[in-house]
Amino acid sequence: MNASLIYTIVTLAGIGTASGVILYFVARKFRVIEDPRIDTVEKALPGANCGGCGYAGCRAFAEACVKENDLAHLFCPVGGNEGMAGVASILGLEAVRKDPRVAVVRCNGTCEHRPRVNRYDGVMTCAIIHNLYSGETGCQYGCLGCGDCCVVCDFDAIHMNPVTGLPEVTDEKCTACGACVIACPKNLIELRKKNAKDRKIYVACRNEERGGPARKACQVACIGCSKCFDVCAYDAITMGTNLAFIDSDKCKLCRKCVEVCPTNAIIEVGFPPRKAKPAVTETTTVNQ
């Protein structure tokens, strides 16, 4: 009884030791030499694996940073400038500085502003609807309201508002990884410059149709009247196909465009309330 127990222990210990020795030599022979800096860089990254940098995850991005030996084209939007400065100091390189950005949904076609003209009862994803037809409202450019953008967000930063039927971005949580930008089949979401106090001014419309049909489909559609373009002193506004666009890098948040917009297609967020109404009308007349 005792002898067989000892026999078992000795055999197992022998196999274990032999395997250990073999494994040791195999591991030495087939060792993968990896730059230790990759691990350090990966630790300095946020570890969200969101893919916002364009790589498959934080590890892949770290590998790219070490391999490229130049950070000119590499940027982690989640870590931002601080994160990239950390990476740069590890590698002894210079990181590009980028203005922090935030996702902005450029559609204000709420249920109230944009009446439905038909009803869809198929699979509730924006991608499938977009592939099938123009959508439930008369505006083929607007939000489809199924929340593909919310599904892809890794940071819990974008949610559908059940009242308006539109997605809303929580600025503090948004890391500008750009997942929602890719997910939106209507190209409504844009990464815009993040201003102090989360102030924003943007054209909340992508409708390229002429004024009449655009307005018929949605009360707050941009009709391409160019009034904002004329009033802007900073060349921040460009006119596309019956549509204005405000470049967030050039915009100085003067709010003049908001005042002149006849359809309220330009939206201001995060500003203190304006003075009494008559004053506004007066300025409008002056501007015209």
Partner 1 sequence: MLKTFKLGGVHPPENKLSADAQIRELPLPAVVSIPMGQHIGAPATPLVKKGDKVKTGQLIGRASGFVSAHIHSSVSGTVTRVDQVPDASGYPRTGVVIKVEGDEWAEEIDRSPELVRACSLAGHEIVEKIQAAGIVGMGGATFPTHIKLVPPKGMKAGLLIINGVECEPWLTADNRLMVEKSREILVGTELLMKALGVEKACIGIEANKPEAILKMKEATVGFSGITVEVLKVKYPQGGEKQLIKAVTGREVPPGALPVAVGCVVSNVGTAFAVYEAVQKNKPLLERVVTVTGRDLKQPSNLKVRIGTSLMEVITYAGGLPEGTGKVISGGPMMGKAVASLEVPVTKGTSGVLLMPGEQSGRQPQLPCIRCSRCASACPMGLEPFLLMTLTQKSLWERVEKEKVLDCIECGSCSYSCPASRPLLDHIRYGKARVGQIVRSRKN
Which residues make up the interface to partner 1 (CB under 8 A)? 117-118, 121-123, 127-128, 131-135, 140, 209
Nearer to partner 1, 19 or 118 (CB): 118
Minimum Å gap between C-beta 128 and partner 1 is 5
Query: Is residue 254 within 8 Å of 199, Cβ to Cβ?
Result: no
Nearer to partner 1, 122 or 162 (CB): 122
Q: What is the DSSP letter of 166?
A: E
Question: Which residue in 53, 32, 145 sits closest to 95, CA to CA?
Answer: 53
What are the phi and psi torsion angles at 56 (to 5°)? -70, -15
Count of alpha carbons within 13 angstroms of residue 191, beta-carbon side: 16
Nearer to partner 1, 131 or 285 (CB): 131
**CA distance linking residue 135 with residue 113, whole number of Å:** 15
Question: Which residue in 214, 206, 173 sits closest to 189, CA to CA?
Answer: 206
Query: Is residue 192 within 8 Å of 253, Cβ to Cβ?
Result: no
Q: What is the DSSP letter of 268?
A: E
Nearer to partner 1, 45 or 223 (CB): 223
Nearer to partner 1, 21 or 123 (CB): 123
Nearer to partner 1, 83 or 213 (CB): 213
Return the SS3 of 21.
Answer: helix
**CA distance linking residue 104 with residue 237, whole number of Å:** 17
